[in-house]
Amino acid sequence: MTFIAQAEQMNKTIGIVAHVDAGKTTFTEQLLYDVQAIVQKGRVDHETSFLDHHVIEKERGITIFSDETTFTYEGDTYFLIDTPGHTDFSYELEQTLHALDYAILIVSATDGVQSYTKTIWKLLKKHDVRSFLFINKMDLARQSLPTIVRSIEKELGTTLLEMNDAEDESKLEDVAMLDEQLLHAFFEGDLTMQQAIQRAIDQQSLVLYSSGSALHGEGVQPFFHTIHERTKTTYDCSETPSGFIYKIRYDSENRKNCFIKLTKGTLELKDSLTLRGERKKIHEMRTYRGSEFLPVQRVTAGQLVALIGFDQGQVGDRFGDEQKELMIERLPAFSAAVESIDPSVPLHTLYERFQQLEQENPTLHVQWNAAEQTLLIEALGLIQLEMIEQLMDERYGIAVRCLEPTILYKETIATETMGYGHFEPLRHYAEVHVLLSPNPPGRGMTVSHETNSNEVTSGMLKEIKEAVLHGGMTGVATGSPLTDVHVTILAAKGHMRHTAPGDFKEATFRAMRYALERAETVVLEPMYSFEASVPSTIIGKFYQDVERAAGQLNDPIQKEHAIEITGEVPVATFARYADQFASLTSGKGTLSLDFSHYAPCHNEEEVIASIGYDRTKDPQFTSSSMFCTKGAGFSVPSSEVASMIHIDPKTYQK
């Protein structure tokens, strides 16, 4: 078994992640103080936190933006990122995950694993971020540490090992049992505890944990020191400079900062970098420490830096030979129209400012409806909408209001169906045949091909696949985005002289629309997973509220002073329930809501009727096809397309 030896000096990026109120920011302050990165600890309740420096964060007492600082510890350079703990700002967390080498997950000893903690854990596993765990607020714990540990292991489905036990050779066999390769090395007598722990951490089969109280400075420093000893990075500074943009920020002077993670090579001022096909020289680089920044002359692999002057850069852009793709899972659940309170503010100015916010947070999906002169944005939750109002005022001096938000529905299908699309106006030509099938929930749009004709080129397939995956196809019941559908390309045909770029996209849209009109449509709605702690005296009333909201309840757990309940409920019926819950429990209960997934709509007919979508009048998508005769193109309704298509289905039917 071969293990890589730790290098003498390393660059490491570590993210602090947690559910809101777990003490994450307090932990971060204590850590920075312990490593002498700050000379005085700040506090959330005193509005003096080093990384929660934005006015909005200070006023609300929560982390909203992912901000970083850097420090050195025993020769290694660390980049520490504090992330939001509220589900409404989880897009900030997801952007940050791509830049991390390791994560520190904070769990409160008093509250344990919450619904959003589980979401964070799933994201860490998905993005292959190796993690350590700190059990905070032990000074307030009502249970013993072993009980708390067993609960965390059960909720997260992982194995925890106390950091002090990582040196105990008597536990070597237990650790080896977690990994087949380790077990083989153990029986061969070729395994030490240090090697076993290192591999178990790298394979995420084991999480080292410690406990303490960040508020009282207990346990944080030895916890981090162990992390320092147990972590390694192997970035190569000799290769071609490569990396990606993981975050965009506009500074107080409205200058665009493109935050990059350099994964290979080195960058220096005056070096040239290609982003979005544009090659430019680097004239300014910054390393941020909270609200302040320092100019940087040189950056090495594994470091984070902000580039100034690359105004075309977007989150997810890559350079060099970087292969990493940034994917944001947390999809908005609401849409809201935005208007300026001051009518003298030009609409184009409002739109431009929101476009800047969208560059920082691509999930806003800013849309301008020219016909209705309306600006629309999307959001994960109501708190985010409130924050956007405040941010526009603070940053740009523009007072705006977000109008009553609407639910973002989606559509899928329940049956398999064929679709034909033909696009042949004069001097254009493309025909596409597809098979649409239901995908498992949450899979999204996928595509494959079963074409066997030599006439179907890779260029044709690329354009068809692009239309399927990124064309924005909508369903035919409500006009909502289509999801969880697999598209099989069965056949395609072009013309040597007449087929132009975009023709196969048009034919694909028509083929998909043809199929959707003949499939069984299912409207999907966003769902919350919830966790509630409710006094036993009013548990019946809470049950009634959940059932009335079309929710589902899991078996309750009786605790000492309350009953804990989990379940799921539609966002549409529970988005504003928090105030009602606080009144119901007289402030003695807790409710955690986390947008988790889409599910079949509980009131589909009502939603379809209220939206009033007419598929025959959609300006973007149609099931009709275009044919050409005697030099003129003409439209053919979908009911007649099958009799006029040029590809015989018998050529590919089995």
Cβ burial, residue 249 (10 Å; 0-12/13-18/19+): middle
135-147 pLDDT, tens digit each: 999 999 989 999 9
Residue 20 has pLDDT above 90, yes or no: no
Residue type, 47: E
Question: Of residues 436 and 206, which shows the higher confidence score?
Answer: 436
At the second CATH level, the architecture of 523-606 is: 2-Layer Sandwich (3.30)
Residue 423 has pLDDT above 80, yes or no: yes
Q: To which H or E segment does residue 224 belong? A: helix 220-230
Q: Can you give the pLDDT at residue 4? A: 34
Q: Are 408 and 336 in contact (CB under 8 A)?
A: no
DSSP code for 596: E
Q: Can you give the pLDDT at residue 215? A: 93
Per CATH, 334-408 and 523-606 having the same topology is answered: yes
Q: Can you give the pLDDT at residue 646? A: 95
Q: Can you give the pLDDT at residue 50? A: 62
Question: Of residues 197 and 422, which shows the higher confidence score?
Answer: 422
At the second CATH level, the architecture of 242-319 is: Beta Barrel (2.40)
Spatial distance between the Cα atoms of 244 and 284, rounded to a whole number of angstroms: 17
Spatial distance between the Cα atoms of 121 and 153, rounded to a whole number of angstroms: 12
Spatial distance between the Cα atoms of 221 and 41, rounded to a whole number of angstroms: 14
Instruction: For the chain, report the end-to-end CA distance as a whole number of angstroms.
Output: 50
Strands (E), 265-333: 266-268, 272-275, 278-281, 285-289, 292-295, 298-300, 304-308, 318-319
At residue 346's C-alpha, the angle toward residues 339 and 396, to 5°, is 75
Please give the structure tokens belonging to residue 466.
């692009």
Among residues of the chain, what percentage have pLDDT more than 70?
A: 94
Mean pLDDT of 631-641: 92
C-alpha R_g of the chain: 27
Residue 230 has pLDDT above 60, yes or no: yes
Identify the top-confidence range among 169-173, 582-586, 621-625.
Answer: 621-625
Residue 36 has pLDDT above 50, yes or no: yes
Closest CA to 416 of 488, 363, 493: 488
Question: Of residues 316 and 48, which shows the higher confidence score?
Answer: 316
Q: Can you give the pLDDT at residue 2? A: 36
Residue found by looking up tokens 């302040």 in the block? 292
Spatial distance between the Cα atoms of 114 and 352, rounded to a whole number of angstroms: 38
Closest CA to 455 of 511, 501, 499: 499
Spatial distance between the Cα atoms of 374 and 337, rounded to a whole number of angstroms: 7
Q: Can you give the pLDDT at residue 252? A: 86
Spatial distance between the Cα atoms of 49 and 44, rounded to a whole number of angstroms: 6
Strands 207-211 and 160-162: parallel
Residue found by looking up tokens 């068809």 in the block? 464
Q: Are 262 and 301 in contact (CB under 8 A)?
A: yes
Q: Are 30 and 322 in contact (CB under 8 A)?
A: no
256-296 pLDDT, tens digit each: 999 999 999 999 999 999 888 889 999 999 999 887 899 99
Residue found by looking up tokens 């793709």 in the block? 325
In DSSP terms, which residues pair with 233 in a beta bridge? none
Helices (H), 381-442: 382-396
Which option is the CATH number for 334-408: 3.40.720.10, 3.30.930.10, 3.40.50.970, 3.30.70.870?
3.30.70.870
Spatial distance between the Cα atoms of 486 and 441, rounded to a whole number of angstroms: 11
Instruction: Give residue 350's pLDDT band: very low, low, confident or very high (50, 70, 90).
Output: very high
Spatial distance between the Cα atoms of 613 and 624, rounded to a whole number of angstroms: 18
Identify the top-confidence range among 30-44, 457-471, 575-589.
Answer: 457-471
For the chain, domain boundaries: 11-230, 242-319, 334-408, 411-521+636-651, 523-606
Q: Can you give the pLDDT at residue 5? A: 36
Strands (E), 42-199: 67-73, 76-82, 102-108, 130-136, 160-162
Mean pLDDT of 587-608: 92
Instruction: Give residue 121's pLDDT band: very low, low, confident or very high (50, 70, 90).
Output: very high
Identify the top-confidence range among 60-64, 88-92, 101-105, 574-578.
Answer: 101-105
At the second CATH level, the architecture of 411-521+636-651 is: 2-Layer Sandwich (3.30)
365-419 pLDDT, tens digit each: 998 877 778 899 999 888 899 999 999 998 999 999 999 999 999 999 999 999 9
42-95 pLDDT, tens digit each: 565 555 566 655 556 556 666 777 889 999 999 999 999 999 888 888 888 988
Q: Can you give the pLDDT at residue 169? A: 79
Mean pLDDT rounded to a whole number for the chain: 89
Spatial distance between the Cα atoms of 653 and 643, rounded to a whole number of angstroms: 17
Q: Can you give the pLDDT at residue 410? A: 97
Long-range contacts of 188-191 (CB under 8 A, 24+ apart): 190/1, 191/1
429-451 pLDDT, tens digit each: 999 999 999 999 989 999 999 88
Helices (H), 70-219: 90-97, 115-126, 145-156, 172-176, 180-187, 193-202
Mean pLDDT of 291-314: 93
Residue found by looking up tokens 């004709």 in the block? 453
Spatial distance between the Cα atoms of 302 and 238, rounded to a whole number of angstroms: 12
SS3 430: strand
Please give the structure tokens belonging to residue 527.
């769902």
Q: Can you give the pLDDT at residue 49? A: 63
Q: Are 205 and 116 in contact (CB under 8 A)?
A: no
Among residues of the chain, what percentage have pLDDT more than 90?
A: 65
Dihedral in degrees, nearest 10, Cα atoms 468, 471, 475, 476: -110
Instruction: Give residue 324's pLDDT band: very low, low, confident or very high (50, 70, 90).
Output: confident
The b-or-e profile of 178-192 (16+ CB within 10 A means b, else e) is bbeebbebbeeeebe
Please give the structure tokens belonging to residue 396.
């740009």
531-554 pLDDT, tens digit each: 898 998 999 999 999 999 999 999
Q: Are 649 and 493 in contact (CB under 8 A)?
A: no
What is the CATH code of the structural domain delimited by 11-230?
A: 3.40.50.300
